[in-house]
Structure 1
Amino acid sequence: MKIAKIFQYAYLVFAVLFLYDAISKWNDGTHGAYVSLALAGLAVFIFFFRRRFRKKYENKGGSK
């Protein structure tokens, strides 16, 4: 289960990278900043989604 925690936090790292990409594209005036912002939002959503189900799975496995 430690690997699941590592991959869970990898989504936050990707969100930060996409956010940085969006800010740099926004300052340059090029198009594509909205796509990077959407991917950053998606990565944050996946982080919370996976964290919720990992905790749910751990609680279910611990009650047996």
Structure 2
Amino acid sequence: MIKILRYTEYLYLGVFIFSLYRIYTDWNLDRQSAYLFVFFAIVSIGMFFFRRNYRKKFEQRKRDNER
């Protein structure tokens, strides 16, 4: 289960990088689309750090229960 949590972290990071790319390419062409991807970038980087924190707490609890 911990491996799945790790993969979802990097999935959110991938969405963040893709959103940054779309913001860069669409900024002068279509502002509305760029703003939508700004929202996606903010949410995805927040979810990346949230999931990372959650996974580390889960691993720590698992280590504490094994002792």
Query: Who is 2:49 aligned against?
Result: 48
Match of 2:22 in 1: 21
Aligned residues: 63
Amino acid in structure 1 at the alignment position of 2:38: L
Displaced runs of 4 or more, over 2 A: none
The TM-score normalised by the length of structure 1 is: 0.88
- Using the size of structure 2 for normalisation, the TM-score is 0.85
Amino acid at match of 1:32: S
Determine the C-alpha separation between the residues in 2 that align with 1:32 and 1:10.
21
Quote the RMSD (CA, aligned, Å). Answer: 1.0
Quote how far apart the aligned CAs of 1:23 are. Answer: 1.2
Tell me: higher relative CO, structure 1 or 2? Use CA pairs within 8 A at least 6 residues apart: 2
- Name the CA distance, whole Å, in 1 between partners of 2:61 and 2:3: 17
CA distance in 2, matches of 1:7, 1:53: 12
